[in-house]
Amino acid sequence: MARGGNSPMIGNNGFDVAEGDNSTAVKAMMHIYSMPKIDIDSDDAVQERITEYFTYCIDSDIRPGVEGMAMALGVNRRTLWDWEMGNTRNNSVVRSDIIRKGKQFLALYLENLASTGKINPVTWIFMMKNHFGYKDVQEHTFTPTSALGDQIPLADLQKLADQHSNTYIVDVDSTDV
């Protein structure tokens, strides 16, 4: 048996592409990559570019995504995330809303694919966690109990300590005896 067998990381095991799929995808990526620069300080220009990106995806029948949206804007996904969180040079609330709405559109698109069985559920979960802040949450309910059984009241403990205060010596070195 060849080393790696069915590993999705070796060779083409992780890919399910037909002849021509790669060239179609790369042509679309090259178009997005070659889009003219925009004034990224202008919220209007950012909104227009996102609309242009989604329109291109529709016209070219390609799947929109976070990386594609970032590339269309001429930034990386970290910058996109910063804008979404309101961390911009001009702290634009408008910019944050634009990016949040664009990413919500992408999440809705993926949700639609998942609900109609057109995307692997594991892929969908991975993308939702990595790009849209989804996470697995487990709730835990704790009931306070004592591992030692019934608790002795503090007053009783004090009485026991007083009764035996001269009986026990703790932490004595041999030179102290």
Task: Count up the domains in the chain and report the number.
Answer: 1
pLDDT, residue 163, reads 78
pLDDT, residue 104, reads 95
Of the pLDDT bands very low, low, confident and very high (cuts 50, 70, 90), residue 1 is very low
- What would the pLDDT profile of 24-57 be if each residue is shown by its tens digit? 889 999 999 999 999 999 999 999 999 999 999 9
The encoded tokens of residue 13 equal: 């095991």
CA–CA dist 144, 102 (Å, integer)? 46
CB 45 within 8 A of CB 39: yes
Q: Which domain holds residue 109?
A: 23-132
As a three-state string, the secondary structure of 81-125 is HHHHCCCCCCCCHHHHHHHHHHHHHHHHHHHHHHHCCCCCHHHHH
**Residue from 153, 111, 158, 107 nearest 130 by CA:** 107
Domain membership of residue 65 (yes or no) is yes
pTM surpassing 0.85?
Answer: no
Domain membership of residue 84 (yes or no) is yes
Domain membership of residue 103 (yes or no) is yes
The encoded tokens of residue 145 equal: 């109990």
Q: For 74-100, what is the mean pLDDT?
A: 89
pLDDT, residue 138, reads 83
pLDDT, residue 80, reads 93
Domain membership of residue 108 (yes or no) is yes
Domain membership of residue 91 (yes or no) is yes
- What would the pLDDT profile of 98-157 be if each residue is shown by its tens digit? 999 999 999 999 999 999 998 888 888 888 998 888 888 888 887 776 666 677 788 887
| Amino acid (1-letter code) at residue 82 | D
CB 120 within 8 A of CB 139: no
